Amino acid sequence: MKLSRRKWLGRSLFYGSGFAGFGYGSLVEKRWLDVTRLDIPLTESHAALAGLKIAVMGDFHHDDFGDGDLIGRAVKVINDEQVDLVYLVGDYISRDAAAIVPLCEVLRNLRPRLGAFGVMGNHDAWHMDPILLKSLESAGVRMLINDAQEFEHFGVVGMDSFLGGRPDLPLALNKITAGKPVILGWHEPDTFATYDDPRIVLQVSGHTHGGQICAPFYGPILLPEYGRKYPYGHYRRGDSSLFVTRGIGTLTLPARFLCPPEVVLVKFGAA
């Protein structure tokens, strides 16, 4: 008999044991892929982005219980959606840089129209090894570390990790023609509160895992530094938005609870 996610959750809560909850979190929810769709409204000054579709993934932590099948399913969802851009928001590994190789064997199957881009997470920066950037670039991911890619009507900017690197937002923004709207990738979401630039339409971040383990009616039990102000979801400030993804992988504990893995599909609406 194949049980739905709701029935699995109901049984775990009914029996009330840590064992049942861990079994659900590690065997079911950890491998349950959510597809989150988000529409970003645009002002007239950002109208050039109307109709653009991007996908966001992050926090693979592939040496911590990495799941190539789960990531492969996420890649298929993205390819089926025929997105324009893919943005990978960091933490490809936790400690072992060699884990990037099998991860990139899956990521190389991404087929966005305009390209795949990535930023470094704090774990990537803390355990930096030449194999990280080499493997990602070989898989077709353009890494943006205080760097930018300019397109005809907009720019894509990526920051170094706030916790593990030396981010320089003004440096990267200066590589985009004045007046063009910008999509910003920055691993740590609380950086959204550190700037106020009308060019930045959307910041995409990860880092928090959405809490990874959440309590009913309470939410995330434990959140990392620079991920406590904006733990998960869509936030707005003026004409700028932030979206924080729950990510794909797990860290330390091979389980998720009330916080399944996620791929995010963003579409920019008409002005």
Q: What is the pLDDT of residues 29-73, one digit of tens each?
A: 999 999 999 999 999 989 999 999 999 999 999 999 999 999 999
| Structure confidence at residue 28 (pLDDT) | 80
Q: What are the residues facing 155 on neighbouring strands?
A: 150, 182
Q: How much of the chain, in percent, has pLDDT values that exceed 70?
A: 89
User: Using an 8 Å Cβ cutoff, are 246 and 232 in contact?
Assistant: yes
pLDDT of residue 160: 98
* Strands of the 182-185 sheet, one edge to the other: 147-150, 155-158, 182-185, 200-205, 240-244, 233-237
**pLDDT tops 50 at residue 24:** yes
Q: Where do you find CATH 3.60.21.10 in the chain? A: 34-268
Bridge partner list, 213: 257
For 87, the enclosing helix (H) or strand (E) is strand 85-88
CATH 3.60.21.10 fits 34-268, yes or no: yes
This model's pTM is above 0.75:
yes
- CA-to-CA dists, residue 104 to 1, 140, 155, 171, angstroms: 35, 9, 25, 29
Reply yes or no on whether the pLDDT at 21 is more than 80.
no
